[in-house]
Structure 1
Amino acid sequence: MNYRHLTPSMSLLLAFEAAARHESYTRAAVELSLTQSAVSRQVQALEQQLGLTLFRREGRRVQLTDVGRLYQREISEALGRIRGATLQATAYQSGGESLRLATLPTFGSKWLLPRLHDFYKTHPGILVHINSRIDAIDFETSGIDAAIVVGNTNLPGLISHRLQVEELVVIISPELACARDLWMPEHIGSQMLLNVANNPNVWGDWFSHHHLPHRMMRLGPSFELTSHLIQAVKAGIGIGLVPRILVAEELQGRELVSLDQPFSSQRNYLLVYPPRNEMLPSLQAFRAWLLAQI
């Protein structure tokens, strides 16, 4: 295998990526400060090197082929990582550092972001770039340095720090709460029960904890984001079972009412990262701050 053919020059890749993004050689030329014919020649050279047809040419217009669109997606991500690495190296050289952190969307907006100003007070030279992620994170390809996740156990191949046991509370709208003078577990079980898609068994665990038969459950719609479930509860659609730290503000402001004692799930909030990142100065500083906050 000739590896030279698999590693085109940066000038060819930049011309292709710009032309693919705009689907226009003219607009790519303006962006790259080149002539339109120069961009065309570079794209053709790339196609010849790869043995692929990346664009269909229709008169003066160009359009990505299916394989061109696939190649663009991968190349754009790779170029983004290169640019990010360059920015990080430049920031480090000038005395600054950065951390690319993935976090659960609702945890990020409800718990982390309101506190992050405190981190910047003591670490003004570190930038924390926040990425919202629900699915599992591939640290090999995503460019993420560390992540805050929730799970039952430590993740293999990663260093994990337990931040907090997930404590769940039953939440209900104030209007629905007034429907009864006293809410017992069996009353809660008769209502429409909302849940988050990535934790589908949570109500079953709650029913078992209260020794209630699972056949009583009236499962309602599920939501991808906990924040959407919280809004649905506020709207009176049903009852939710959510982490207490994500609704502390709403409970304090009486936007929501909690009907039961906190219930500890089998999951934990974790800070995780691959071993190779353990000595990153930005991660060391953030880890120490985060553990102190918890």
Structure 2
Amino acid sequence: MKRAFIPPADSLIAFECAARHLSFTRAAEELHLTQGAVSKQVRQLEDRLGVELFRRVRQRIVLTDAGRLYLHDIRGALENMTAATRQVMSYAGSADVLNLAVLPTFGTRWLAPRLAGFQKRFPDAGLNLSVRLQPFDFDEEPFDGAIHHGDPVWAGAIAERLFDEEVIPVASRAFRDRHDIRDPADLVRVPRLQLATRPLAWRQWFEHVGVETDAAFQGARFEQFVMISEAAIHNMGAALIPRFFVEAELASGRLVQLFDISLDQNTAYYFVYPEGRTMRPVVKTFRQWLMEEARTARTNREAMLPR
């Protein structure tokens, strides 16, 4: 009975395209149909729904209120169908596919440069990586695992610790020299870059180094660490960034660590996967590889600590 209410896909596609262009002619060009065919499909859709979706005004069309509402919902449904189709097509030619949810900066700066090592271990595996910022329900999302930052709490999932987060103050060499930054207290008087999701970071760092200030929350705000690091590289201010996110920039000299004082967070990074679900070979291999990479990263970090 539910399916009886679903119009033919061709009619929905024709409607969405015509509504996007507000033109049957341009929709016909995009869909490689005649203008008459598009108009007919839309008219059949209107007859099926019993609702006028477009109002014909002289030589143009405009959406009715019902048409605007329907477009909003149909466009989302078509986008979901497209994403689902691309997702299943990614299985072609692969023995198995790993669907992973990652945090954007972690995925870009830490995970992506290392993935070639995983593909050497599992050469027939397909990889689908998507960004998710918040915990989700594994029963409702098509993921085998996720990278999570925070506490080891995720409903219906197992969280395995990868490593802690060491946050360090960085800036470009030019910015440091121009502002004559010599002491932690000097950071009170210079522009500082803020991460929107961690508004307390600078206050915590100043408290850690014993500097009192009422200006800890001042400074340009950014959504992601990758944006802050680029802003710091281009002399916009000093930033607090996890060391492993800027290893390449520190090695190249594009950023410098201002002081050998780090702020260890109470939170950590975790690999999270569904509890009670049989783990497929590709997931087992990825988990093992990821834990080894994290262990190596921890060992390298400990080797750099002063003795």
Classify the TM-score, shorter chain.
Answer: 0.7 to 0.9
Q: TM-score scaled to structure 2, two decimals?
A: 0.77
Q: Aligned match of 1:70 in 69, 72, 82?
A: 72
Q: In 1, Cα distance between the equivalents of 2:135 and 2:249?
A: 29
Deviation of 1:138 after TM superposition, in Å, equals 6.6
Distance change >3 Å, CA 248–CA 276, structure 1 → 2: same
Given that 1:145 and 1:277 are in contact with CA atoms closer than 8 Å, whether structure 2 keeps it comes out as no
Secondary structure of 1:265's counterpart equals: strand
Q: Aligned match of 1:84 in 83, 86, 102?
A: 86
Deviation of 1:280 after TM superposition, in Å, equals 4.1
Percent identical across equivalent pairs? Answer: 35
Partner of 1:148: 147
Structure 2: stretches of 5+ with no match in the other structure: 295-307
Secondary structure of 1:68's counterpart equals: helix
Q: Does 1:272 align with 2:264?
A: no
Q: In 1, Cα distance between the equivalents of 2:193 and 2:242?
A: 13
Q: Match of 2:292, as an amino acid? A: A
Given that 1:17 and 1:75 are in contact with CA atoms closer than 8 Å, whether structure 2 keeps it comes out as no
Distance change >3 Å, CA 181–CA 123, structure 1 → 2: same
Given that 1:13 and 1:75 are in contact with CA atoms closer than 8 Å, whether structure 2 keeps it comes out as no
Deviation of 1:256 after TM superposition, in Å, equals 1.4
Q: In 1, Cα distance between the equivalents of 2:25 and 2:2?
A: 31
Distance change >3 Å, CA 247–CA 58, structure 1 → 2: same
Aligned residues: CA RMSD = 3.3
Q: Match of 1:265, as an amino acid? A: Q
Matches within 5 A, 1:238-249: 238-249=237-248
Residue-pair matches, total: 290
Deviation of 1:202 after TM superposition, in Å, equals 1.1
Q: TM-score scaled to structure 1, two decimals?
A: 0.80
Q: In 2, Cα distance between the equivalents of 1:18 and 1:165?
A: 49
Q: Match of 1:77, as an amino acid? A: E
Q: In 2, Cα distance between the equivalents of 1:57 and 1:141?
A: 41
Deviation of 1:203 after TM superposition, in Å, equals 1.3
Partner of 2:176: 177
Partner of 2:205: 206
Secondary structure of 2:79's counterpart equals: helix
Q: Match of 2:71, as an amino acid? A: R
Given that 2:12 and 2:74 are in contact with CA atoms closer than 8 Å, whether structure 1 keeps it comes out as no
Partner of 2:111: 112
Structure 1: stretches of 5+ with no match in the other structure: none
Partner of 2:287: 287
**Deviations 1:7-38 (CA, angstroms, capped at 9, x unpaired):** 33444444445555565555655666665544
Partner of 1:255: 254
